[in-house]
Amino acid sequence: MNTVINQVETNEAEAKSHALVSYLLQLIGLFTAIPMLFGGIWAMVKRSSATGTIYHSHYTNAIRTFWWTLGWTIVGCIFLFAGIGFLVLGIVWLWALYRLVNGMAKIMADEPYPL
């Protein structure tokens, strides 16, 4: 019985750690770009191991944040020539920053991310 409880606690701790790594890589990626890709891939790879934990929603948040940020960044870059691209890129950056910081705050409080 004790072994089962220890396994569940270990799985939860690993899920939390991997979600934090994904969030941190994506936050760094907001300033340097490449780690954002690694953080998104990290969340996609590790998501299945978090099934059944309160941290599964954090992986969903990290993955959605990655893809939406990537998509809107491409749109913003296209519209740079029209003059509104900087506005789009600024809004995307602030939105991603909010989602990642909010996710980290929730994960540190051991709360699921509200989807």
**pTM for the whole structure:** 0.88
Cα separation of 52 and 7, whole Å?
13
pLDDT of residue 103: 96
10 Å CB burial of residue 32 (0-12, 13-18, 19+) is exposed
Sequence-distant (≥ 6) Cβ neighbours of residue 74 within 8 angstroms: none
**C-beta of residue 42 within 8 angstroms of C-beta of residue 57:** no
pLDDT of residue 33: 87
Q: Which residues of the chain, if any, have pLDDT below 70?
A: 1-8
Cα-flanking dihedrals φ and ψ of residue 83, to 5°?
95, -15
Alpha helices in the chain (DSSP H): 2-32, 34-46, 56-78, 85-108
Mean pLDDT of the chain: 91
Q: Which is it for the CA torsion 90, 96, 100, 106, positive or negative?
A: positive
Q: What size, in residues, is the chain? A: 115
